[in-house]
Amino acid sequence: MGEVEPLTEEEMLIVSVRASGMGTTSRDDLAGQALAARRRQLFNRDDVEELKGLGCLAEGRQGRLVEHECSARNEAELMTRLTRMVAEENADRSALLDWAISTDPVLTRADRGQLEEMLGRLFSERAKAGDWLEQPDGSFKQK
């Protein structure tokens, strides 16, 4: 299984060339949204890691971040940041999936569910010791 890594400068250039060569505005838009999503993921990475470390965030089975009960949830500032991080990270992951589906000659929107499950497994495998992971029955377990 592959690894989720930041896009290199060369990859970003390839994306822009490939997307613009398709002749459709929607692919250009998706490529731009994917780049913006990846930039925001990198910007938010330290907040996401901190919230995971506190036990307030977990990796969901469908490749999404989910809120998890933690002792720090009583702090208003933390709750605001937690809600924002979940929304932004999940929107970014969704934008990257949309882009991947639109640029891959084999993938279709019908494959999205399988891609989300694959991402869930990938994020679970890459999780650090102590991170919370959603289990198939909906419960949570630490890695």
- Domain range for 85 is 9-142
Q: What is the domain count for the chain? A: 1
3-state secondary structure 55-95: CCEEECCCCCEEECCCHHHHCHHHHHHHHHHHHHHHHHHHH
Q: Is residue 2 part of a domain?
A: no
Measured distance CA(116)–CA(110) in Å, rounded: 11
Q: Is residue 4 part of a domain?
A: no
Question: What's the average model confidence in pLDDT over 17-33?
Answer: 65
Round the average pLDDT of the chain to a whole number and report it. Answer: 86
Q: Is the pTM of this model over 0.75?
A: yes
Q: Is residue 1 part of a domain?
A: no
Are residues 62 and 142 in contact, defined by beta-carbon separation less than 8 angstroms? no
